[in-house]
């Protein structure tokens, strides 16, 4: 096993093993791309989580509404047949 020296920017930080360079060491375009990708990931993640939270109640309401409407249609057709 070789005894490699860890660069200063990685010492003491668990994320330094994944992202060895700090944001200040990157070029301006790289900082901009990192910022845009980070914000996009956050927005997309929140959108998906809200979609998952609100989809089930909407689906239940839709199924109940269809069930009630079909029940009304069947009741009307049964009344028309009986007359």
Instruction: Supply the pTM of this predicted model.
Output: 0.44
| 34: CB partners within 8 A, 6+ apart | 23, 26
Q: Which domain holds residue 76?
A: 8-82
DSSP letter assigned to residue 16: G
> Is there a domain that residue 1 lies in?
no
17-21, 31-35, 45-49: range with highest mean pLDDT: 45-49
DSSP 26: S
- Are 23 and 34 spatial neighbours (Cβ–Cβ below 8 Å)? yes
Q: Which helix (H) or strand (E) holds 68?
A: helix 28-82
pLDDT at 45 over 90: yes
Structural domains in the chain (count): 1
Question: Is 3 domain-assigned?
Answer: no
Instruction: For residue 57, tell me if it sits in a domain.
Output: yes
């Amino acid at each position: 096993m070789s005894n490699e020296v860890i660069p200063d920017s990685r010492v003491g930080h668990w994320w330094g093993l994944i992202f060895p360079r700090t944001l200040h060491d990157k070029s301006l375009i790289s900082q901009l791309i990192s910022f845009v990708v980070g914000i996009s990931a956050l927005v997309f993640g929140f959108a998906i989580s809200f979609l998952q939270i609100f989809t089930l109640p909407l689906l239940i309401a839709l199924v109940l509404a269809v069930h009630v409407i079909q029940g009304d249609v069947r009741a009307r057709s049964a009344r028309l047949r009986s007359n």
